[in-house]
Amino acid sequence: MSRPSLESFSLGGKRIPLVGPQGIWKPAVCELPLSITTVASLPYPDAMDEQIGRLSYAYRGTDPYHRDNVGLRTAHAERVPLVYFHSFVPGSYVASYPAFVVGDDPSSLMFAVQVDDISSAYANATNQVADNGAEARREYVTRAVRQRLHQELFRERVLRGVPGEMRTVQPPSSGVARCGPHHARQPPEGDPVVSNGVALCKLHHAAFDRLFFAVRPD
C-alpha cells in the first residue's frame, strides 16, 4: 500500500487518514488510536519475538502518560483492534489486521502486540462467548505475519536492490530478463539477502518451481 492511498482513505464521504506523522495514530474522528506503524528506517526498538509470537512496540517518547500511550493502554483494556502497518521502504506499507495490544510494560516503555485471525476474533466478539483459544491462535497468526513480513522485506530488497549487496545474475535465453520483476524467489530457509534471490514474473516463478528451468551457480 502506498502512503498517499492510506492518507487519502475516506469513509462515508469523510477523509480518515489511516496513518499519520507518528507511529501511534489517532485520527480526529476517533476516540482511540486507529493504527500503529513500524518504519524500518527509524530508530525505534520495535521487534518481533518469534519465540512467544509477539511484537514489542515502543511507547511514544518516554512519558508513559503521553496521550498516545494512554490511548494504546485504553485499547488494551477495552480490547479494541488496531491496524498494524510495517514499512520497509519509504512510502510503501504492509498492513495486518486485527492487531491487539496484549501487554503493557511502563518500565521498559514497551507494549506487547499480537495479530489475530479476523474471522475467529470477530465471531467470538459478536457471539460474546469466551475465546479460550485466543492466546494460542494469536501466537500462531503473529508468527505467520512475521514470516510474511520477512518475505516482503526480501521481495522489496530484490526488486529495488541494496547497494553493496546486489549481485548480477545472468538469466538464460528463455526471456527471464524481459518478463518484468514482479516476484521474488527465495530458498525457504534462506536469509533475506539479495544475493539469495532472483526477480521473476508469475509465469517464470511457476516454471521455476516446477523445475522447467534453473539458475546455475555461475
Which is nearest to 167 in space by CA: 202, 212, 204, 217? Answer: 217
**Residue 125, Cβ neighbours under 10 Å: how many?**
13
215 vs 185 pLDDT, higher one: 215
Report whether pLDDT(133) > 50.
yes
Q: Where are the domains of the chain?
A: 3-159, 164-209
pTM: 0.68
- Give alpha helix (H) positions in the chain: 3-7, 67-78, 118-127, 134-160, 202-209
Contacts 24+ apart (CB under 8 A), 197-205: 197/154, 197/157, 197/158, 198/158, 198/169, 198/171, 199/158, 199/159, 200/176, 203/179, 204/174, 204/176, 204/179
Architecture of 3-159 per CATH?
Roll (2.30)
C-alpha cell at 167: 549481485
Q: Which amino acid is at 86?
A: H
Question: What's residue 177's pLDDT?
Answer: 41
Give residue-wise pLDDT tens across range 158-208: 776 644 443 344 444 433 444 554 555 555 445 556 666 777 778 888 888
Indicate the pairing of strand 198-200 with strand 183-185: antiparallel
